[in-house]
Structure 1
Amino acid sequence: MAEEQAEPLLQQFGLQVEQLDYAFIRDCEDVKVVEHIVQVLRSGEEGYFLHLTRYAEDHLTKLCPDSALLQEGATSAVDERMQEEARKDLEEWALTMKEIEEQLKEEEELINISPPLPPIRGSSSSSPALTLSEDDIEALLLEGQQFLEKDNFIQASLCFQKVLSHYPAHNRALEGMSTIHNQPRKPTGKTRPLIQEIL
């Protein structure tokens, strides 16, 4: 028969979660009840509330300065655990911000890419030399489409740009550029949740 899980301290002491409250602790004059509240808060079973734990300890000090619980100084362990969790959350938040910033820079570069314009009428400059073969164009368009499917918009735009530099009115290349410009901005799949609030 499997060993039964230990009963939570809240239930062992006959406390209600509503009693883990500043107002209740402030008005409570029963030393045993305040000691039980301190033990529950230190255990972290109901969450880590460092300030509330210290508040309960301060109130216990007023009621019973010689309480054995006050000699243990367990809040330092809670404090260290919370500081470690906060440090990890801040590191994750900083990493997430860096990823978002890099993505925004890429999208800004993408927005600034525009297809080449045909020469102005009457200008002396001649049209670009048509040096791409039909096979080259088809390969570039296919490669650009594959990059689009992988959400690699910068590489896709370079493929379409190369076609447009030789054929400024090429329909499929223009459609590819239009698809890129109409892509919604969204975070990368690597983005993790931002710093969690520590209760």
Structure 2
Amino acid sequence: THEHAQILQIYDRATVNHSRIVHQVQLYGDATITLAFIEHRAEVFDFALIEGNKDNNVWICDCAKVYGHARVIAGTEEDAIPTLRYSSQVAEHALIEGNCVLKHHVLVGGHAEVRGGPILLDDRVLIEGHACIQGEILIEHQVEISGRAAVIAFDGNTIHLRGPKVINGEDRITRTPLVGSL
């Protein structure tokens, strides 16, 4: 960047391999980044792992953050590119893998696993605990998923959850709920 007050920063023991890092990004702590494209004030720190592969990279931009021991990993299928945008955050021991897009005010934390997909999380979505999200899924507008809850789409089906909703405990969702049933 041309602005001296907003420079790209890679420091501490952060490691970057075969990646494009641009526009005021901050990478620090013991973060490891491989085969990724990170831009526009995104931050990756602590012991976070960002891992693309020969088929797909990982894209993190627009003030998104990955930290703690979180992992964001590209899949090997076509378009299995994890994308974190806007104010999305992946924290603690969470895992994002494959074709997953996280957008506005999304936080995935705890030991939650999100495996796409495609998966789209948008507009105040919180996924934490040991929650599992897997398959072709759209979750939007004030949805909280926690505990050991699972939202899993099977056999090419699509699940759409729109809030406000709280899904927790041992709840298991395998199809789009009827209006008013949650």
TM-score, normalised via structure 2 length: 0.15
Greater helix share, structure number: 1
Greater strand share, structure number: 2
Larger radius of gyration: 1
